[in-house]
Structure formats: structure tokens, C-alpha cells
Structure 1
């Protein structure tokens, strides 16, 4: 998911969507992988014109392309890189400058229990071997930028930088994640549960494990046909409940999760008794389609102004 706002850096995205031809390309790619020639024939346009439109969609992060050898020739195969777009408009009552932000690498978990299939890697190499949970204890895990497991959990300690007199009004957690299938499978649902300070804040079902095309930031050494990218999810805990991508996830409000402590404990889990035990892949900086680690943003107001 693309999580955009009104910053000018998102203009290429909005410009890419402001074209009937490019919207038609998106609709065609929603159903099939297609090369430029096939798109041109479907649209009744020249390949040169379609190539220009595809480049705009690539720049916006909506479409991915790769060169594939097929039937004795080389074809530029196009596919959708995203499944949805969320646009956050300025909030009239929230001073966006009053925010503490913390970036947490995916390897900085403080507690875990994972079961195969599983693994962990830095942007340079695998840590240990596939399907051996012992390597989640390897000190080099602190440099990890991707991890995956079939069931279990990872837990993180996040420092709380709120000062005396600063009252939290919302907490946003942004993370790229997906399922974990043996190999890859884009139809592999997994019920992923989120817990903050011991409070169950909700569950989201990941549709699948994405790997048909390479992730935008997959390192060159990372092989094809394995976990490549996930979906960007934004969890927002506010006074009237918890949302995920703007949709209601639970009734847990920010006043119930104990944000006054010196640090917060965030757990991501696939429970053994879930309806869909489809595993979890967690992407950080240097992997997937978003070049950043987990982000925690707490919005606050001065107590004297409340």
C-alpha cells in the first residue's frame, strides 16, 4: 500500500493517476501480467506511447517492470507494484509538528519465539541457515533487514520520548509485512496479531506471500522466487479506537495502552490457533518496496492546552 500525503514529493504519484490511459493500464494489469506490446495492442496505441506511460507509473511506484526471456525474445513484463493507495490530508486539530518519531530496525527484537519455515538476513547476506530458529539469537541479528517465520512472534522495545506535560493523542506504527509460505504464494492468508504493552490492539489478515516480481529494494544477491515485498500497513491508535489503513480494527483507545511508561512493548504474532496460520515476513530498510524500518510516531499536545 502507498501511504501518501499532501507533500510535494508525492506529485509524481498524483500526476501518474491523472491520465485515462494510465488508469486503463492499471486496470489491465490488475488482471494479468502484460508486456508493453500487449498493453499497446489492448489500448490501440503505439508501443512508444505506452512505454512513456509505463515509465510515469514506474516513477510513481505503481507499476514494476522486469526484462524476461520468452519465446526466443526479451520482453518487458509489467505488473502492479501496489494494491491500494491511502492519502492522508492535513488534520485540522492536530499540530503535526508535535510528534516524536522512532525508527526501529526489524532485527532489534528483544524477545521471540519462531517456528519454521524461518530465516533472517541482512542486506548483505543470510544470517546462519534457513529454518533454524537458533540464528534469531545470533548477535548479528541486530543488523537484520528481513525476517520470516511460519508461526510465533517477535517483540520490540520502543523508547518513549514523551516529556512531562506532553499528552499523547495518537500513536502510528508503520510496517511492511506479508505472509510466509513455503516458497511463495500470493494466495496464502495469514492472521497477524498486534499487541502493544500487553494489550491486544487488533488483527489483520495478510492476503499472501509476494514474490512473483522482485521487491523494489531487494538486494542483488537475494534470489528470485522467495519473499520479495509486503504491504505497507499503518496502524493508528487514537482516542476512539485503533485503525489500520484508516479502517476500524479494534475499540482499544490510546488511553488504555499505558503510554506513560519509559518504553513500549510491541509484539507482532501469528498464533498457533489462528484461523489462518500463514506465517509472517517482516521487511525493513534495504528490502521490500519501502526503504525504511518500522516507524513509530506519537502525536501529542501540551497538557496545558488540552
Structure 2
């Protein structure tokens, strides 16, 4: 056993929920058991535990988020996983609000959209670059296998919409809502001069439009499978921000929409829609990248920033 797995991992009160979620699943406990003596790849874990690789990947991500497992890229660009500790120490909260993060993040796989509007040409592939359903057939976007999607695309206008849970309880507020995704335009094959206007809507409120200048395929994506022979390889990481004063992409103000306009409620989902609108000047589709494709090892991320007790009964 390596030295890095001998020490006690200390978790402050704000991390208890992360750890509890990570340890609440039987499969995740079996993964920790299996990694107890040596590091293993995702495929080795899948074979040893008799579980599909996408299922292992999702559960490893939960363990990584709780910092119970760390990963690195090994030979053949495969993820190698190791446990980070053998014992944990939880510090229980002693006053109201102490158990909350200053930053709460929800990670959403790109195939877990709740509704979509897709027309050919379009398609989806998994992390190995294998097509899900038939290419240019919108019916594929309603197949159960869509949950394994690592790259999806459509040409022209269309959208995918995701429902996120609101993790912020009544009586607590936050100063900023952020959304990150890796995206680019969608051209036949690829085209380094192919702009597309990509917009974000949160609870149907516009959070800003960005023009992505290309469908990037001039080099291999850092995480893109060597088996993928499609033209599109990587995208740009875009961050939308909604604050009390308006909506921004990076530091550029893009919309008048404020947090108050979103009308967020604790017991209702937050609807996030990534769209190329029918009236867009550059109506050239989009590619959306998951954690195992493109340049950035992340799914869609919705973040709640600077959470604090507000003294009110709702947010």
C-alpha cells in the first residue's frame, strides 16, 4: 500500500454532505475496497466488479468530488484511480450555516437533458467515440443510452435543456450563479471559420449569447478518444454568470437578467437551456462536450457562489 493512503483525511463541516453521498452507495464502497491495495484503471475496475464502464466512471467522479479517490491519466490515455486515505475525520457543525459550502457545485452529464429540440444533422457518441443510435436521426436523442453521451451535436437551430436541483435551503442566499460548458459550432466535418451564436437561458430568462467562431478540428482534443475519427475534436470552455446586477460571460455584461429575475425556489428545479435560436444571426449549430471528450475533464457545472445565511425564509 502506498504512503499516500496511510494518513487520516480531515473534513470540515461543509464537506460532510459530499462525503456522506460518496459513501452512501454499495458500489462506491466496493470501489474503495478494490482500490485498497493498488491503483486500477476504469476498465480494470469494471472487469473486477462486473459493472459497465460508464457506471464506474460516474461513481468514480462522486468519489473524486469527495476527495476519497484521485485519478491521473496513464498509458493509452486511460484514467488510473487511487484511494487518497484509509481513515476520515468529520468535524460536525456547531452553529447554523457552518455546514454549508461557500461554493456549491452540481455536475451534470451532457446526456442527462430533460428535453430537447433537435433536427438533422445531429448525433451523439460515447467516450470511446461509438455512435449512440444512428447518426442524423433525432430519435437517438430519446434513447436510454443517451446517458452515456460524451459528445452531442446538431446543426442549425435547436436546444438541449437540463433540470438541476436547487441545493440552497430556505433562509440561505448566494451572490452569484455560474454555468460552465465546453462548446463549439457544428459544421459538416469541421470548419475553423464557422461562427455560431450560442445562448444560455435559465428558467427561460436570457443569460447571454456568445459567438463561437469555429467547429474545432485542427488538432486532437486532449481527452478525445483515439478511436473517434469525426471532424470535431474540442471546444471552448464558456462560463456564464448571473449576479444581482446582471448577467455576464466572463467579465463582459451580456444581459439585464439578475438573480431576482430567475425566481429561484428551493422546491423547484432550475431549468438551464443551451440553445442556438431560430433568429440567431449565425445559426450554425453546436457541439457539447462531456468530461471524457474535448479539452476539459468536466461535465456541465452549475455553481452557487458565496453562499451565506440570509435570515430570510427563501432565496
State the 1:254 CA deviation. Answer: 0.9
Partner residue of 1:78? Answer: none
CA contact (8 A) 2:178 2:242 kept: yes
Partner residue of 1:212? Answer: 218
2:307 aligned with 1:303, yes or no?
A: no
Name the CA distance, whole Å, in 2 between partners of 1:120 and 1:97. 35
How does the TM-score come out when normalised to structure 1? 0.66
Partner residue of 1:193? Answer: 199
Name the CA distance, whole Å, in 2 between partners of 1:129 and 1:102. 30
2:111 aligned with 1:104, yes or no?
A: no
- For structure 1, the 5+ residue unaligned runs are 1-95
Which secondary structure does the structure 2 equivalent of 1:275 belong to? Answer: coil
State the 1:145 CA deviation. Answer: 1.2
2:166 aligned with 1:160, yes or no?
A: yes
Partner residue of 2:251? Answer: 246
Partner residue of 1:290? Answer: 296
Q: Quick check: which one's strand share is greater?
A: 1
- CA RMSD after TM alignment: 1.7
Name the CA distance, whole Å, in 2 between partners of 1:106 and 1:172. 17
CA contact (8 A) 1:190 1:280 kept: yes
Name the CA distance, whole Å, in 1 between partners of 2:279 and 2:101. 42
Partner residue of 1:182? Answer: 188
CA contact (8 A) 1:168 1:259 kept: no
2:219 aligned with 1:222, yes or no?
A: no
2:133 aligned with 1:128, yes or no?
A: yes
State the 1:273 CA deviation. Answer: 2.2
How does the TM-score come out when normalised to structure 2? 0.64
State the 1:198 CA deviation. Answer: 1.3
2:151 aligned with 1:146, yes or no?
A: yes
Query: Which of 118, 124, 128 in structure 1 is aligned with 2:122?
Result: 118
2:230 aligned with 1:260, yes or no?
A: no
State the 1:271 CA deviation. Answer: 1.6
State the 1:255 CA deviation. Answer: 1.2
CA offsets 1:64-112 (integer angstroms, 9 cap, x no match): xxxxxxxxxxxxxxxxxxxxxxxxxxxxxxxx94122100010000101
Which secondary structure does the structure 1 equivalent of 2:301 belong to? Answer: strand
Which secondary structure does the structure 2 equivalent of 1:141 belong to? Answer: helix
CA offsets 1:32-52 (integer angstroms, 9 cap, x no match): xxxxxxxxxxxxxxxxxxxxx
- For structure 2, the 5+ residue unaligned runs are 1-99
Q: Which runs of 4+ in 1 moved over 2 A?
A: none
